[in-house]
Amino acid sequence: MSRPPDASPDPPPSREVGERLARNRARPVVLSIRSLEKRYEGSDGSFLALRGLHLDVRHREFICVIGRSGCGKSTLIRIIAGLEEPTGGEILLDGKAVHGPGPERGMVFQAYTLFPWLTVRGNVVFGLKMAGAERERAEYEAMRWIDLVGLGGFANHYPDQLSGGMKQRVAIARALASRPRILLMDEPFGALDSQTRTRMQGYLLKICRRVDVTVVFITHDLDEAIFLADRVVVLPPRPGPVQHVMDVPLPRPRRREHLLDPTFIRARRHLDAFIHEDEPDDEPEVPVHGLADEVRDVLEF
């Protein structure tokens, strides 16, 4: 793993956090990414999106994957979900190679993916029936998951009667209802306003404490990654092995005050150096022609 020259050393965890991280490391591996490669073939030649990627994710870990736009984060998660096949390497789930989608992998995307013609309950029931549950069992189970995400009073509402945050809570309930081994999330809160996003992060952590699930969560928001994760994985800007893995040196349960904690700020600065390494400083000059004189005076001041 390469380090940018200005990366500070990994921020040290407290004794309590160090012990929790050691317990995580002792857990069995659920998801294993082995020498993963993805090459897209197009009319104008081939394009390498991922190369030589290795990663082990342990039972009940919360992993956040970050990296520059276009570095292959969504490609990676789609391959883990079985929505795309890799052109090299493999994905092992509990030691077995996976091909194609399966109920042991739940997925939540950034775009709202609920069926608009089904109610909240109908959407969750649909997911359960797809995973093989009988109707009566599916109805009962669906209500348990809808209650868990705090939407018990909205079971008969349709998606267009819900806010963006509520839609994503239904999507989480639908993904979790079939009891996946891993929950795969690709910028699930990316379309939400910042207050709703903050609330959703809190909800997600609460839900994960109550459910036996391992999470791989893609985000481009460093604060979100540090707030949620046990480990933050940095993908390199050009296809290649994982650039860096940072143990998050914060205790659980996470609280909003942690965002102001010097440990949090140090962790953020640490990751920032990886994300912005070698970034060209090519901000275009903003032309001032056509502005009123008084505005130009202010800009040129």
Shortest distance in whole angstroms from residue 1 CB to ligand ATP: 18
Based on the shown chain and the rule CB under 5 A, indicate whether residue 219 belongs to the binding site for Mg ion: no
Q: How far from 91 is each of 30, 43, 95, 151, CA to CA, in Å?
A: 10, 28, 9, 34
Give the angle subtended at the CA of 144 by the CAs of 139 and 146, to the nearest 5°: 90
Which listed option, ligand ATP, Mg ion, none, makes contact with residue 123 (CB within 5 to 8 Å by class)?
A: none
In the beta sheet, which residues pair with residue 36?
A: 53
CA distance 131 to 179: 9
- Number of residues interacting with ligand ATP: please give it, by CB under 6 A: 13
Least separation in angstroms between residue 194's CB and ligand ATP is: 18
What does the buried/exposed string (b/e) look like for 165-185 if buried means 16 or more CB atoms within 10 Å of the residue's CB? bbbbbbbbbbbbbbebbbbbb
Under rule CB under 6 A, residue 220 binds ligand ATP: yes
43 interacts with ligand ATP by CB under 6 A: no
Q: Are the beta carbons of 141 and 126 closer than 8 angstroms?
A: no
Count of CB atoms situated within 10 Å of the CB of 87 = 17
Of 60 and 68, CB closest to ligand ATP: 68
Which of 61, 68, 74, 106 binds Mg ion (CB under 5 A)? It is 74
Residue placing its CB nearer to Mg ion in the complex, 74 or 263: 74
| Binding residues among 58-77 for ligand ATP as defined by CB under 6 A | 67, 69-75
Which one, 136 or 279, has the nearer CB to ligand ATP? 279
Residue 140 binding ligand ATP, by CB under 6 A: no
What is the three-class DSSP state of 150? coil
| Residue 219 binding ligand ATP, by CB under 6 A | no
Binding site for ligand ATP (CB under 6 A): 40, 42, 47, 49, 67, 69-75, 220
